[in-house]
Amino acid sequence: MTNRTTIAVAASAGACALALGVTAPAMAAPAQAQDTAMVSVFHGIPGMTVDVYANGDELLSDFKPGTVTEPQSLEAGTYDIQIFEAGKGPDGTPALEKQVKVPEGGNATVAAHLSADGKPQLTAFTDDVSRVDAGQARLTVRHVAAAPAVDVRAGGEPVFTGLTNPDQDTAAVDAGTVNADVVLAGTDTVAVGPAELDLKEGTSNIVYAWGSAEDKNLALATQTFSGMETMPKAVHAGGSGAAVTPNSPDQWLAWAAAAGAITLSGVLVARRVAGRRN
């Protein structure tokens, strides 16, 4: 007889205010069991409030664009993720559907976002929360926007080049304040910034560029994990997320030009795909 385990995951209610160049405060999560993983969900499809289902059970309702859930412990396994426009599931046709494997001991974020040509898609990213050397932090940029390729610079020098949707790039950098900007790939045309990023020692900082260039609603969302300076394994890290919206609709590439605030609350209830049998 198939054993289908029901898992309840409470996404903590919170409010995150993010000024330009200031990351949200990080939180440490409790140690996880060997057969579990840490999973976050990011919603990066503008103008579309959604309901999220896993294996036919509702995970999140009325999930707003630009929000990132706190990482939560989930039993390892494979999940059939379906995303519906709010109120249209589970009997209707999902806007997105994908099987996502949650590996034992892993740390991942499932992102619902637009492809480079503006079509909704799901991408599962591995969150690198491995140890960094003393005095360092980790910076990751994820391009999940319907927008052209970009280069990311720090102090005027390229850090990441030719970043395209849905790719990511990451590097260990010296902790402290970084003067960063984003330019169109292969040019000196500044698309974002310059902005001061406060990268604290022992943190892993993830920046999502999301939205649509054509619709002039590109924005940034951030995720921060702590504990990398002392913990030898990634599974102990926790994190927090916040969103930033453009300062003006005319600045279609001004991803980080204004302060913003989000409030996120939700309950994730996931049932594992039938795969393990007694």
pTM over 0.85: no
Distance from C-alpha of 201 to C-alpha of 205, rounded to nearest angstrom: 11
**Amino acid (one-letter) located at 87:** G
Q: What are phi and psi of 234, to 5 degrees?
A: -70, -25
Among residues 275, 265, 227, 270, the alpha carbon closest in space to that of 12 is found at: 265
Band the pLDDT of 177: cuts 50, 70, 90. Answer: confident
Report pLDDT digits (tens) over 99-145: 998 889 889 999 999 999 999 999 999 999 899 999 999 999 999 98
Report pLDDT digits (tens) over 14-63: 322 222 222 333 434 444 556 899 989 999 999 999 999 988 889 889 99
The predicted pLDDT at position 266 comes to: 29
Distance from C-alpha of 29 to C-alpha of 20, rounded to nearest angstrom: 26
Distance from C-alpha of 92 to C-alpha of 204, rounded to nearest angstrom: 38
Report pLDDT digits (tens) over 54-108: 888 898 899 999 999 888 888 889 999 999 999 998 888 999 999 998 889 889 9
Report domain extents, the chain.
6-271
**Chain-wide mean pLDDT for the chain?**
73
Is the model's pLDDT at 208 over the cut of 60?
yes
The predicted pLDDT at position 192 comes to: 67
